């Protein structure tokens, strides 16, 4: 198969900023773009392929026709023909709502047919004073949670982190979190669009009406466990693959490169999503049948390497930083 690029789906949000378009090198007349959905199998927002022999087809259609070749037999066995990851860039000009996502089990019970949402953030850019909120800093009961939401003090018990580019946060289902103003992040998550909004600063939506809260559903979803630190610590390795996050749903690694590096995929039996967060270069996809495909990759672009690939080579042009996400 051929490495795939997709048409981004741009979402206008009440908290959205103006960084996504120039970051991705695209022109748009839309204001307050909050999210660019890079790869999506979410119903109503399914990605459309824009290059190669499958141009014009949807990701869902290709998965139904060539799921094992695209995603891997192992992945198809676990998740079926729905592509399992949703990839986004998020630009927060203002604070996002305090929110939580359900586990698979809770989602199946409350939203039949849908999955839960475990996700991660990689900070691409951060204004001075930008912050992220993640996790509880003290033990509270469900009753205290309700009181703190009602008296506007729920943020007092959440971990608050000043951030800079390269920071990583893992957000398993059930962890309260929020993206703060001035943060620009790449988000990797399960294919799910279920969000339980807890607190929204009394803000009105784009329609001029207060945005809906989901306090009872959130209370059932929240993991009340308190951890000492919610930031993911790692040591970046120049011109080597650096591990960031592993969970049942995805593994994500980092390539910070100024010279060519290759990754052997022959035993992986999974797709690899490559997200370029800075610089530019070329990816060389060596297929198991001996065919070779090259695709240019620059900041703001995302490429899906199929499971039929035996090796992917990263050839930076001056320098390139990429995230790679796959299923182990």
Helix (H) or strand (E) holding 148, with range, is helix 142-150
SS3 110: helix
State the Cα–Cα distance between residues 254 and 271, nearest whole angstrom.
Answer: 16
Q: Is 322 exposed, middle or buried (0-12, 13-18, 19+ CB in 10 A)?
A: buried
Q: Is 197 noted as a catalytic residue in this protein? A: yes
Tell me which residue has tokens 């672009």.
301
Tell me if 318 sits within 8 A of 258, measured CB to CB: yes
Distance of CA 118 to the CA centre of its chain: 10
Tell me if 146 sits within 8 A of 216, measured CB to CB: no
State the Cα–Cα distance between residues 64 and 20, nearest whole angstrom.
Answer: 31
Query: What values do phi and psi take at 114, rounded to 5?
Result: -110, 160
Other CB atoms within a 10 A radius of the CB of residue 53 amount to 8
Question: CA-based Rg of the chain, rounded to a whole angstrom?
Answer: 20
State the Cα–Cα distance between residues 69 and 101, nearest whole angstrom.
Answer: 31
- Choose the catalytic residue: 109, 197, 238, 298: 197
SS3 152: coil
Tell me if 254 sits within 8 A of 167, measured CB to CB: no
* Residues that are catalytic: 197
């Amino acid at each position: 198969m051929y490495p795939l690029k997709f048409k981004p789906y741009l979402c206008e949000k009440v908290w959205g900023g103006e960084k996504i378009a120039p970051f991705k090198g695209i022109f748009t007349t839309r204001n307050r773009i909050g999210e660019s959905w890079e790869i999506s199998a979410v119903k109503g927002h399914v990605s459309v392929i824009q290059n190669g022999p499958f141009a014009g087809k949807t990701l869902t259609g290709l998965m139904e026709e060539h799921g094992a070749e695209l995603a891997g037999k192992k992945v198809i066995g676990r998740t079926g023909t729905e592509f399992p990851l949703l990839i986004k860039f998020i630009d927060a000009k203002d604070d996002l709502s305090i929110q939580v996502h359900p586990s698979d089990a809770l989602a199946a019970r409350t939203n039949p047919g849908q999955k839960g949402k475990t996700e991660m953030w990689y900070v691409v850019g951060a204004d001075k004073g930008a912050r992220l909120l993640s996790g509880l800093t003290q033990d509270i009961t469900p009753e205290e949670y309700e009181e703190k939401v009602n008296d506007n003090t729920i943020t007092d018990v959440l971990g608050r982190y000043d951030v800079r580019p390269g920071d990583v946060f893992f957000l398993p289902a059930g962890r309260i979190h929020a993206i703060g103003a001035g943060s620009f992040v790449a988000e990797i998550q399960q294919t799910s669009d279920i969000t339980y909004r807890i607190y929204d600063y009394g803000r009105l939506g784009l329609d001029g009406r207060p945005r809906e809260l989901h306090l009872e559903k959130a209370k059932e979803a929240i993991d009340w466990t308190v951890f000492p630190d919610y930031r993911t610590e790692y040591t970046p390795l120049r011109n080597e693959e650096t591990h960031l996050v592993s969970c049942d749903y995805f593994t994500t690694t980092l390539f910070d490169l100024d010279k060519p590096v290759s990754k052997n995929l022959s035993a992986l039996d999974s797709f690899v999503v490559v997200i370029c967060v800075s610089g530019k270069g070329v990816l060389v996809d060596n297929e198991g049948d001996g065919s070779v495909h090259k695709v240019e990759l620059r900041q703001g672009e995302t490429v899906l390497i199929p499971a039929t690939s035996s090796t992917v080579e990263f050839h930076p042009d001056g320098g390139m930083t990429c995230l790679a996400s796959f299923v182990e």
